[in-house]
């Protein structure tokens, strides 16, 4: 567990640095802003579900972080949206899955997309996954890049609070559209 966290931490920083360089932005942003006390590991357990077509393992969502490193076991069930269709992510015990999260989408001005994903249930087999979430400190400000930023600047604290408020009031996460500079 400790090992997964520390190896994921290193990998997440390497990947984030490379992605930042592609945007010609400072790659040390993550080293400076993504500190240990906000990054976290989540272990998911999905018990068998007798009515898989009626119950999600995990509702469709995007992750509220910079990027996620996910390990899923051989059972499968993870799906992501590609060209408006749900596509299954084939289990591969030798591979890690990297998801871009909301913060990277904002920081890159939409160059990188926070991918919508969900988990389907399995009628007979239990499933496990482990995910590492690369997050900035609560005070870190996410500045959208470019001359025509699609999102206003916001702190991670503000983003989290908004997500929590929406989930409480509306029952679902609105996410980045709340911080859009464009009215629609
Ligand atoms: C998550 C997530 C996917 C999985 O924890 O945010 O999307 O395969 N998990 O468990
Ligand atoms: Ni997720």
Does the structural domain 1-137 have CATH classification 2.60.120.330?
yes
Q: How many CB atoms lie within 10 A of CB 172?
A: 12
Give the Å distance between the CA of 50 and the centre of ligand 1: 20
Model confidence pLDDT, tens digit, residues 41-91: 999 999 999 998 899 999 999 999 999 999 999 999 999 999 999 999 999
| Ligand sitting nearest the alpha carbon of 42 | 1
The CA-based angle 50-92-110, given to 5 degrees, is 95
Q: Which of 114, 181, 175 is nearest to 143 (CA)?
A: 181
> Which structure tokens are listed for 139?
């005070």
45 catalytically annotated: no
Distance CA 143, CA 107 (A): 6
% the chain with pLDDT above 70: 99
Give the Å distance between the CA of 147 and the centre of ligand 2: 30
Distance CA 85, CA 90 (A): 15
Give residues with Cβ within 8 angstroms of 98, minimum separation 6: 15, 67, 68, 69, 70
Closest ligand 1 atom to 63 CA = 6
Residue ranges of E strands in 56-184: 56-61, 67-72, 78-82, 85-88, 97-100, 117-120, 127-134, 141-142, 154-155
User: Does the pLDDT value for residue 97 go beyond 90?
Assistant: yes
Range list of H helices, the chain: 2-22, 29-33, 102-107, 156-170
What is the residue with the minimal CA distance to atom 6 of ligand 1?
Answer: 63
Cβ distance 67 to 101 under 8 Å? Answer: yes
Model confidence pLDDT, tens digit, residues 162-182: 999 999 999 999 999 999 998
Model confidence pLDDT, tens digit, residues 147-165: 889 999 999 999 999 999 9
Active-site entry in 25, 127, 157, 160:
127
C-alpha 39: how far from its chain's center?
12
pTM of structure: 0.95
Model confidence pLDDT, tens digit, residues 9-21: 999 999 999 999 9
Give the Å distance between the CA of 63 and the centre of ligand 2: 5
Domain definitions of the chain by residue range: 1-137
């Amino acid at each position: 567990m400790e090992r997964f966290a520390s190896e994921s931490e290193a990998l997440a920083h390497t990947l984030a640095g490379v992605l930042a360089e592609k945007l010609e932005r400072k790659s040390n942003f993550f080293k400076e802003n993504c500190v240990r006390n906000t990054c976290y590991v989540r272990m998911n357990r999905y018990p068998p579900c007798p009515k898989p077509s009626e119950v999600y393992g995990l509702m469709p969502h995007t992750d509220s972080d910079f990027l996620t490193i996910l390990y899923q076991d051989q059972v499968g069930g993870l799906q992501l949206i590609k060209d408006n269709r749900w596509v299954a992510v084939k289990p591969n015990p030798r591979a890690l899955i990297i998801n871009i999260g909301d913060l990277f989408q904002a920081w890159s001005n939409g160059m990188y997309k926070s991918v919508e994903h969900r988990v389907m249930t399995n009628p007979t087999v239990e499933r496990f996954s482990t995910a590492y979430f690369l997050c900035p400190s609560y005070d870190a400000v996410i500045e959208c890049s470019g001359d025509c930023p699609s999102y206003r600047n916001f702190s991670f604290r503000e983003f989290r609070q908004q997500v929590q408020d929406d989930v409480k009031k509306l029952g679902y996460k609105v996410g980045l559209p709340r911080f859009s500079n464009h009215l629609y």
